[in-house]
Amino acid sequence: MELTITGNVRLVVKPDAESLEPEALKECDTVIIKGVMDYHGRKNEWLIP
Q: What is the pLDDT of residue 28?
A: 94
Q: Does an H or E element contain 23, and which?
A: helix 22-27
Reported pTM: 0.64
pLDDT digits (tens, 9 = 90+) for 7-47: 778 888 999 999 999 999 999 999 999 988 887 777 778 88
Measured CA to CA, the distance from residue 9 to residue 46 in angstroms comes to 9
Per-residue confidence (pLDDT) for residue 1, from 0 to 100: 60
Q: What's the pLDDT at 20?
A: 92
What pLDDT shows up at residue 49? 75
